Amino acid sequence: MGRNHRAALSRQGGCVQREAATSRQVTLVVPARAKLNLDLAVLGRTEGGFHEIRTHIQAIDLHDLLELTPADRTSITTTGHAVPQDGDNSVLKAHEAMQQEAGRDLPTRFHLDKHIPPGSGLGGASSDAAAALRGLAALHNLKVDLGAVAASIGADVPFFLNGGAATAEGRGERLTRLPIDRAWFAIAWPGVELSTAAVYRAWDDVNGDRPNQLRAAAERVEPRVKEFAAGLGPQWQMTGSGSAFFTRCPDERSARQATAGLDCWTAVTHSVGPWA
């Protein structure tokens, strides 16, 4: 589904169980799917300093894979795109939040196979956190309110508990489910990681235009984003706070043609429905 991207699991969302060959211990494999912001409006700032938004989010087939195995102590390893392996890792943040909610230790060995580019606006970190919540609940037989735990981790995390399509409002946590926008998409990423907080701070100075009112702010934070967008052309739009861009295509062949001549990370993917 893109360069350096493993084929998707046949099931759209749920955990897949497999047994380790030596220990016969159950390992859960949970896909953590990306998203696109098909539009994004920034409505202003609250008294608490947060930005309120309204955005149409669509889950797509591009995904990371998170493996969870019971262990004597918690650890994490990663392959693919580089991500933190300390307390800044969203999987470990989700793990700590679940331990707090459960009131006990949940020793787990994680392995994250990372295909969604970090700092791209594709929601990879939030999706990884949601996958960790779902996997931990299944692995340790926990009966907890995952929605509440997800909201405590990040504004995007609740969306990824269910996927599909939704309008997100507030900080992104108020969700209204929508019909799936069935389409193919070509995605291009310039290899630039953007800080979401920095982009929103820049929005206070530059505002922005539709379809994504964060684009001018992203270009202020990192001028290479503006250069990249100019090279892609007007049919491409930015997702989230950047720096990835996408264009809607009528079919897979058209999407592959759209990425064929680009000298950057690319992916060809399609929309997916809810997985929970």
Q: Is 64 a catalytic residue?
A: no
Catalytic residue among 35, 61, 113, 128: 35
Catalytic residue among 61, 113, 128, 156: 156
Question: How far apart are alpha carbons 225 and 231 in whole angstroms?
Answer: 10
Contacts 24+ apart (CB under 8 A), 220-227: 221/194, 221/195, 222/192, 222/194, 224/190, 224/192, 225/190, 225/192, 225/194
Q: Is 156 a catalytic residue?
A: yes
Crossing angle between the packed helical segments 90-102 and 146-153, to the nearest 10 degrees: 130
Compute CA 10 distance to the chain's CA centroid, rounded to the nearest angstrom.
Answer: 19
Exposed e or buried b per residue across 161-187, where buried means at least 16 C-beta atoms within 10 angstroms of its C-beta: bbbbbbebbebbbebeeeeebebbbbb
φ/ψ bin of 49: left (φ > 0), alpha (ψ from -120 to 50), beta (otherwise)? left
Query: Exposed, middle or buried, 63 (CB in 10 Å: 0-12/13-18/19+)?
Result: buried
Tokens of 271: 């929309």
Q: Please enumerate in sequence order all residues whose Cβ is within 8 A of that of 104, keeping only pairs 6 or more positions apart, or say none.
A: none
CB contact at 8 A, 114 and 148: no
Question: How far apart are alpha carbons 33 and 122 in whole angstroms?
Answer: 9
Active site residues: 35, 156
